Structure formats: structure tokens, C-alpha cells
């Protein structure tokens, strides 16, 4: 007598095991982070004692613990939503309802993708609101009004629909029109979309949410332009962003691609750092460009997305893939949207298991960018800038080592500053 499980039941139990394992691993890591930070909240590390007060250190600990608790809540909530969409039949019911309304065809497929993401966004709204108006506000970082928060959400939804739905329609059409190699054409469309987005973002999308003004400080602008010239970096301009409208956090970044590259400074950054320290922060970002980190990540992203779409191309032809996740596929019509959505829900479950590799690579890139900044501006300016940013952004100085391995894309403060030599208090 054959006692082997049917393929769809085996896939169901594999999915459940992967979901439970990923959630337990995240819970263990979050719990470690909370305990470790709480255990060290009353003792400033010796290297930082001259620069960080006990009150500032305790504030950073409280902020980190609250963020980690919220992250744990979000992980549990996301797992519950995932089970609702799959094993409890949510996606199947939504698909059947749209089939009865629109019939089989591309409009129904696009509507399914749009409805899925719209419902998902609504389900995530309560925790997003809590993060902004409870967590960030309680720790003195939120500057957003409810009106601005709603406006940002509506504009974000409109941009996502304007960009995402045509791309989804193209991919879904390719699924049925391009034959077995549809995934290759979909990959080419995806890469073209991302390249176009890099060109459009600084000039079209970002200004919908923030105001960007050319850097008015002539002395600082001259320093920045001198640094760019010294590093052989060409940019379309140096802009100040009104980050203080939304948050008290400070940052700087480069955005765009090719001739659309821009240097963007948060107004909060200009308020907190000296000119030499701003140079150091920008030199760090230039270090990423010098070492081609963005290009390398784009290449790896392209290879990864190509492999993922090839896997999806095979899975989409397996009936057990649908039945095992609580969905009844069509035997005569297209299952493109169902395959795309199910795959997009399952694939991230593996993310936590490969996170240490990608986090380690990211931290390596940050160290390289730091070394480049030191070569251009010296260690003192960068150390002073990092110290100020860690302190003012309430970043914990005592994270759990295992949590760092999995989730820290940037090195911890102690490790990063130790490589720069003795920390000097900003003047």
C-alpha cells in the first residue's frame, strides 16, 4: 500500500514548516536583541563614556527595545495574513469573486493583483500608523501630522498603481503570449523597469513627497563641489530635502542613475553636523560609488530575479503548487496572477535564513566606504559625524551579536568607530 503523501499535501507541510521555522528564528533573534539591550541599558560602553551620557544611552536602549517589539508584532501579523491568504483560502475566494465579476482574461488577472496589494496595504495600516504616531512620536522623532501621513499614503498608492499595474499587465500578458520562455521576457521587462525607475525617481517621484531646494549655503556648496571634483564624481546638483517635515532623523544620500545622479542632504543633517563632518558623510557615500557597490548590487539583484523568475516559470506549471497553498487553479484559463502572487508570498520566507550572508556583504561594503571617506577627509571628521548621528538617532551602542549577524546592514557603532581610531567629540 502506497503511504506517500500526495504532492500538494507534501508542499503544504513544507510551506507550514518553512513559515513556522522562519517565525521562530525571527522571534528568537528579536528576543535576544531585547534582552541584550536591556541588560546593558544602564552602562555606557567605556569607549563612548566621554561622549554619550547615561541618559542618552538609556534613551537609545528604550527606542531599540520598542522598535524590536514592534518588529516582532509585525512578523506575527504578517504570518497571520499569509496564512489567511493561503491555507485559509483568502486568495482563492478573491480570485473566484473577480472571475464571477470580470470573467477569465487579462483584466481579471490585473484586477486580482491590484486588489491583493490594496487589501494587503489596508491590513498593514494599523501597525504603520502605530509606528509613526506612537513609537516614533514617543521617542521624539515623529514630525508628521495625520494629514501629511494620509496624503503620503494616498500619493504612494497612486504612484504604485501608476507604475506597478502596467508592469503587472505586461508580465501577465507575457505569461500567456510568450510560451515557455515567458519568464525570460518578464525578467527583461523587470530590469528595464528598474533602470527607468532609477532615472525617474529623483526628478519625478521623490518631489511628489518632499521639497528639494538647491543648497543655498555658498561655503558648504563650494566644499561639496570641491569634494565631488576631487573624487571624480559628477552630479546633477546638490539639494537639501525637507526631511524635518516627517522625522527628526538625519541622513544624506545619492540618488538617480547616470546623468540623473543627485546629492541629497537632509535639512536635519545640516543642522547637526559641521562642514567637515558633512564632507565625511558625503565621502562615505562617494566610497560606495567608487567601489561600484550600487552597480554590483544591481547585477546581483538582476541575477537573483532572473533565477527566481525561472523557478516561478517551472512552479507555475505544477498543480500541486496551487492546491498546496489553498488555491484552485484554472484548468482552462490563465493562472498567471495566482502563480505570481503565491510565489511572491512564499519566497520571502527564505529571506531570514540567507540574511546573514547579505548582511555580512553589506557591512563589508560599509567598511570599504568608510575607508574611502577616511582617505578623502581623515578619520576625525567621519568619527565625529558618526558619533553625532548614532547619538542623535538613538542608535543602540550595545546590540546583540547574533541580531547583528542577521539584520545589521551597517556595522555596529563600536566596531565601526574602533576602525577609525579614537573618537573625538565634535567641536
188-216 confidence digits (pLDDT tens) = 999 999 888 888 888 888 888 988 888 88
Residue 237 has pLDDT above 80, yes or no: no
Q: What is the predicted pLDDT for the residue at 251?
A: 76
What values do phi and psi take at 213, rounded to 5? -115, 140
Alpha-carbon distance 177 to 165, whole Å? 18
Q: What is the predicted pLDDT for the residue at 201?
A: 84
Residue with the three cell numbers 561600484: 292
Close Cβ partners of 192 (under 8 Å, ≥ 6 residues apart): none
**Residue 145, CA distances (Å) to 122, 128, 241, 271 in order:** 19, 14, 18, 22
Alpha-carbon distance 261 to 234, whole Å? 8
Whether the Cβ atoms of residue 144 and residue 246 lie closer than 8 Å to each other = yes
The per-residue pLDDT for range 315-330, each reduced to its tens digit, is 999 999 999 999 999 8
The grid coordinates listed for 177 are: 503570449
Average pLDDT value over all residues in the chain? 89
Query: What single string gives the DSSP state of each residue in 337-356?
Result: HHHHHHHHHHGGGGHHHHHH
Residue 294 has pLDDT above 90, yes or no: no
* 291 is an annotated ligand-binding site residue: no
280, HSE (Cβ side, Cα atoms, 13 Å)? 23
Lowest mean pLDDT among 45-54, 276-285, 302-311, 415-424: 415-424
Q: What is the predicted pLDDT for the residue at 257?
A: 64
- Residue 370 annotated among the catalytic residues of the structure: yes
Per-residue pLDDT band at 426 (split at 50, 70, 90) = very low
Alpha-carbon distance 228 to 224, whole Å? 6
Separation of first and last alpha carbons in the chain: 81
Q: What is the predicted pLDDT for the residue at 136?
A: 93
- Residue 279 annotated among the catalytic residues of the structure: no
Among 279, 365, 370, 400, the active-site one is 370
- Count of other CB atoms within 10 angstroms of residue 202: 21
The per-residue pLDDT for range 39-91, each reduced to its tens digit, is 999 999 888 888 889 999 999 999 999 999 999 999 999 999 999 999 999 99
| Radius of gyration for the chain, computed over Cα atoms and rounded to the nearest angstrom | 24
Lowest mean pLDDT among 28-42, 214-228, 394-408: 214-228
* pTM reported for the whole predicted model: 0.90
* 136 is an annotated ligand-binding site residue: no
* 284 is an annotated ligand-binding site residue: yes
Strands 238-241 and 212-214: antiparallel
Whether the Cβ atoms of residue 370 and residue 342 lie closer than 8 Å to each other = no
Residue 4 has pLDDT above 70, yes or no: no
Q: Of 289, 284, 261, 281, which is closest to residue 220 (Cα–Cα)? A: 281
Whether the Cβ atoms of residue 25 and residue 89 lie closer than 8 Å to each other = no
Sign for the CA dihedral angle at 370, 372, 378, 382 comes to negative
Q: What is the predicted pLDDT for the residue at 23?
A: 96
The grid coordinates listed for 94 are: 478573491
Which element (helix H / strand E) includes 252?
strand 252-255
Average pLDDT over residues 106-132: 96
Assign 3-state DSSP to the chain and report helix, strand, coil percentages, each to 5: 75, 5, 20
Among 92, 136, 279, 285, the active-site one is 285
Query: What single string gives the DSSP state of each residue in 386-402?
Result: HHHHHHHTT--SS--HH
The grid coordinates listed for 53 are: 551620557
Q: What is the predicted pLDDT for the residue at 413?
A: 87
Alpha-carbon distance 71 to 32, whole Å? 13
Alpha-carbon distance 153 to 136, whole Å? 17
What values do phi and psi take at 151, rounded to 5? -60, -45
> Which of the two residues, 27 and 235, has the higher pLDDT score?
27
Amino acid at each position: 500500500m502506497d503511504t506517500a503523501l500526495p504532492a500538494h499535501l507534501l508542499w503544504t507541510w513544507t510551506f507550514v514548516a518553512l513559515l513556522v521555522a522562519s517565525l521562530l528564528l525571527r522571534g528568537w533573534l528579536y528576543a535576544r536583541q531585547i534582552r541584550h539591550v536591556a541588560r546593558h541599558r544602564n552602562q555606557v560602553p567605556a569607549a563612548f563614556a566621554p561622549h554619550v551620557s547615561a541618559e542618552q544611552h538609556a534613551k537609545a536602549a528604550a527606542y531599540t527595545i520598542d522598535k524590536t517589539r514592534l518588529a516582532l508584532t509585525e512578523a506575527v501579523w504578517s504570518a497571520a495574513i499569509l496564512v489567511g491568504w493561503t491555507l485559509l483560502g483568502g486568495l482563492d475566494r478573491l480570485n473566484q469573486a473577480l472571475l464571477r465579476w470580470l470573467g477569465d482574461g487579462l483584466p481579471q488577472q490585473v484586477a486580482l493583483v491590484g486588489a491583493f496589494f490594496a487589501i494587503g496595504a489596508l491590513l498593514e495600516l494599523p501597525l504603520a500608523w502605530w509606528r509613526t504616531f506612537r513609537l516614533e512620536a514617543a521617542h521624539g522623532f515623529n514630525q508628521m501630522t495625520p494629514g501629511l501621513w494620509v496624503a503620503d499614503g494616498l500619493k504612494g498608492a497612486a504612484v504604485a498603481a501608476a507604475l506597478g499595474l502596467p508592469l503587472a499587465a505586461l508580465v501577465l500578458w507575457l505569461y500567456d503570449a510568450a510560451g515557455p520562455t515567458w519568464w525570460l521576457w518578464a525578467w527583461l521587462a523587470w530590469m528595464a523597469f528598474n533602470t527607468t525607475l532609477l532615472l525617474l525617481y529623483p526628478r519625478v517621484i521623490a518631489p511628489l513627497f518632499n521639497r528639494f531646494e538647491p543648497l543655498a549655503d555658498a561655503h558648504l556648496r563650494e566644499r561639496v563641489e570641491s569634494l565631488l571634483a576631487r573624487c571624480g564624481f559628477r552630479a546633477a546638483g546638490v539639494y537639501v530635502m525637507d526631511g524635518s517635515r516627517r522625522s527628526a532623523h538625519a541622513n544624506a544620500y545619492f540618488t538617480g542613475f547616470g546623468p540623473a545622479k543627485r546629492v541629497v542632504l537632509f535639512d536635519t543633517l545640516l543642522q547637526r553636523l559641521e562642514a567637515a563632518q558633512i564632507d565625511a558623510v558625503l565621502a562615505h557615500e562617494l566610497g560606495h560609488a567608487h567601489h561600484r557597490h550600487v552597480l554590483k548590487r544591481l547585477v546581483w539583484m538582476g541575477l537573483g530575479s532572473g533565477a527566481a523568475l525561472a523557478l516561478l516559470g517551472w512552479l507555475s506549471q505544477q498543480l500541486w503548487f496551487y492546491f498546496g497553498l489553498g488555491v484552485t487553479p484554472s484548468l482552462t484559463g490563465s493562472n498567471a496572477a495566482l502563480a505570481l502572487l503565491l510565489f511572491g508570498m512564499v519566497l520571502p520566507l527564505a529571506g531570514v535564513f540567507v540574511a546573514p550572508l547579505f548582511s555580512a556583504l553589506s557591512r563589508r561594503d560599509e567598511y570599504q566606504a568608510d575607508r574611502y571617506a577616511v582617505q578623502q577627509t581623515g578619520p576625525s571628521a567621519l568619527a565625529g559625524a558618526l558619533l553625532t548621528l548614532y547619538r542623535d538617532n538613538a542608535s543602540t551602542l550595545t546590540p546583540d551579536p547574533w541580531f547583528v549577524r542577521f539584520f545589521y546592514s551597517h556595522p555596529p557603532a563600536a566596531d565601526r568607530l574602533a576602525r577609525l581610531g579614537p573618537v573625538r567629540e565634535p567641536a
